[in-house]
């Protein structure tokens, strides 16, 4: 596709359940980023991938959060045993190169609601 796509667009789950969020980056983009955006908060960096490896996982809030990327393309963010405080919009972005000033192109996000 022309842009970054994310699925599902909305996810409602019960506390304690596991969820998987998917990101399809722009074809050929090397770097992929996950952010979380809560109401009234800025974008909180979670993790980024260079190819299939994740050099920086420092933003993951807890060990319930994990992410993987396969084939240098699709990435999934998994949240285990979801809690109400996990409710947020999860945004994925990709960039052509892993450069600090390189343009990041964002997907529309997945809105996660934990009841």
Partner 1 sequence: TQLLEQSPQFLSIQEGENLTVYCNSSSVFSSLQWYRQEPGEGPVLLVTVVTGGEVKKLKRLTFQFGDARKDSSLHITAAQPGDTGLYLCAGAGYSTLTFGKGTMLLVSP
Instruction: Write out the residues near partner 1 by the rule CB under 8 A.
Output: 4, 31, 33, 35, 40-45, 48, 50, 55-56, 59, 91, 93, 98-101, 103-109
Least gap, CB of 107 to partner 1 (angstroms) = 5
Question: Of 80 and 106, which CB lies nearer to partner 1 in the complex structure?
Answer: 106
Question: Of 14 and 40, which CB lies nearer to partner 1 in the complex structure?
Answer: 40
Choose among 64, 30, 28, 29: nearest CA to 46: 64
CA distances from 39 to 29, 51, 86, 87, 103 (A): 29, 31, 12, 9, 24
Tell me the CB-side half-sphere exposure of residue 67, using CA atoms within 13 A: 32
CA distance 115 to 113: 6
Least gap, CB of 57 to partner 1 (angstroms) = 11
Least gap, CB of 98 to partner 1 (angstroms) = 5
């Amino acid at each position: 596709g022309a842009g970054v796509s994310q699925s599902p667009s909305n996810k409602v789950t019960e506390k304690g359940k596991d969820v998987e969020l998917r990101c399809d980056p722009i074809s050929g983009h090397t770097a992929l980023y996950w952010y979380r955006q809560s109401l009234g908060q800025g974008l909180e960096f979670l993790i980024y991938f260079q190819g299939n490896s994740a050099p920086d996982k420092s933003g993951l809030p807890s060990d319930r959060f994990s992410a993987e990327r396969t084939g240098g393309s699709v990435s999934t963010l998994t949240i285990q045993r979801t809690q109400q405080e996990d409710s947020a919009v999860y945004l994925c972005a990709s960039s052509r190169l892993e450069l600090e000033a390189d343009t990041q192109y964002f997907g529309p996000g997945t809105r996660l609601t934990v009841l």
